[in-house]
Amino acid sequence: MSVRVTRAAPRVMLTAALAASVLACDALDPFSRVGPQIGSGRVEWAEQGVTVAFPEDWIVREAGPETADALEGMEWLRLDGVSALASTSPDREATCWLVADDPTARGESGSLLRWLVLNAGASGGWSGLERAVVDLPAGPAVRTRLRGDERVRTAYAYRGPSAIYSLVCTAAPAADLAEPWLPVARSIAFQRDATDSEAPAPVTRGGRIRRPSDGYALTLPEDWIVEDVDGATDAWLDDPLVPAEAAQRRTLLWAEDPSGAISFRVTDITPTAEDAGDWVSADDATAAFYRGIERHPNVVSSATEIVNLPAGRSGHNTSVHADGDVYDDFYLTDTSSWYRLRCAWSSDLPDVCRAVAESFEFLPREE
């Protein structure tokens, strides 16, 4: 029977569980029970359409649901949409896993940033999270690094053609190498259709972001991680919505600062405006959404105002939640398209939201 994970259910934290599993494997050396050996060094993972080159003397095994029965801490391999390759050095002092995860098989969002929020944080004795966008031959990846007890875990996560792929390597710190696993990460190649090569990278770094197909442009800090969102990845980016509400808004872009403490989303709320029927300005959108904020059970304080931005008159709703998070929402329209810009941040962080909102520009839509 397959395992289905819903938002309300307890989650298996993939990379956190993986790190614990790697440490257990190092201690007990049950590597032969991970799964069948499929080669050494460079291998082709035909099932996933991926090739990867581990060090030449490293054995590579394919892990599956049966691995969860053979080794403690491998429950994540029973999740729908998850499979993995495992490789280790001859002395078992270093281990790398290449995990393929299609969260949509479990009814979850396929967003890489959402996946990182759920799976790549500091936990289980790992701390000091560092994140950055790294440009690799397979496309932009988000590199995360965590430190544990005399070990460092480095991961490179991609949004591939059919899944999220994460290369997770664990070893003692290499004093002479700042990026010891970069050659392995650079070797990863996906088999893509010819049409895929013309599509924009779904994940990139900040700067001036232009999206003529969605009718807007804005500027984000250069070191931010930016992800274009589509119908397969925008689920669960907001609080749970009834189907009628979910159909009225579409997240177009999600961005985060390197620490993950500040996030910014662009949402197309044109269907909401069309459904309302009587919105004529940003004032109307602001008032309608503010009524929802006032009813939210977790909001402890809120404020609303009308501001003038370079893109035009805008509504600005601010709400502070019980956990200390601050939500800044800006509403803009050129009368044909309607947008909500949402910035979420902690109350003890500097407010960068207004600067991003001021950079917003309406663009003529291109098909």
The mean pLDDT of 202-214, rounded to a whole number, is: 92
Is a pLDDT exceeding 80 seen at residue 216? yes
Is a pLDDT exceeding 60 seen at residue 199? no
The Cα 353–Cα 15 span in angstroms is 31
Q: Which CATH number fits domain 200-362: 3.90.1150.10, 3.40.1000.10, 3.30.300.10, 1.50.10.20?
A: 3.40.1000.10
3-state secondary structure of 20: helix
Nearest Cα to Cα of residue 228 among 259, 195, 251: 251
Written as one letter, the residue type at 232 is A
Which residues share a beta bridge with 141?
A: 134
Is a pLDDT exceeding 60 seen at residue 236? no
pLDDT, greater one: 160 or 334 = 334
CA atoms within 13 A on the CB side of 256: 19
pLDDT tens readout for residues 301-347: 999 999 999 999 999 999 999 988 899 999 999 989 999 999 998 76
Query: In the predicted model, what is the mean pLDDT of the chain?
Result: 81
On whether the CB atoms of residues 98 and 85 are closer than 8 A, the answer is yes
The Cα 298–Cα 87 span in angstroms is 45
The Cα 111–Cα 195 span in angstroms is 21
The Cα 107–Cα 235 span in angstroms is 9
Helices 112-119 & 14-28 angle (0-180, nearest 10): 50
3-state secondary structure of 271: helix
The Cα 57–Cα 63 span in angstroms is 19
Per-residue confidence (pLDDT) for residue 23, from 0 to 100: 39
On whether the CB atoms of residues 344 and 350 are closer than 8 A, the answer is no
Q: What letters, b where the CB count within 10 A reaches 16 and e where it falls short, cover 93-117?
A: ebbbbbbbbbbbbbebbbbbbbbbe
Written as one letter, the residue type at 120 is A
Helix ranges restricted to H, the chain: 14-28, 65-70, 112-119, 182-187, 243-246, 270-276, 282-295, 353-358
Maximum mean pLDDT: which of 106-110, 174-178, 195-199, 208-212:
208-212
Count CB neighbours of 301 within 10 A.
Answer: 9
Count CB neighbours of 293 within 10 A.
Answer: 16
Is a pLDDT exceeding 70 seen at residue 65? yes
Is a pLDDT exceeding 80 seen at residue 127? no
Q: What angle do CA 28, 33, 39 make, to 5 degrees?
A: 115
CA atoms within 13 A on the CB side of 65: 7
Q: How confident is the model at residue 261 (pLDDT cuts 50, 70, 90)?
A: confident
DSSP type of residue 333: E
Q: How confident is the model at residue 126 (pLDDT cuts 50, 70, 90)?
A: confident
Is a pLDDT exceeding 50 seen at residue 195? no
Give CATH for domain 14-194. Answer: 3.40.1000.10
Q: What are the residue ranges of CATH 3.40.1000.10 in the chain?
A: 14-194, 200-362
Is a pLDDT exceeding 60 seen at residue 363? yes
pLDDT, greater one: 234 or 152 = 152
The Cα 165–Cα 183 span in angstroms is 16
* CA-to-CA dists, residue 78 to 25, 55, 65, 321, angstroms: 18, 28, 5, 36
The mean pLDDT of 93-111, rounded to a whole number, is: 87
The reported pTM is: 0.78
pLDDT, greater one: 65 or 279 = 279
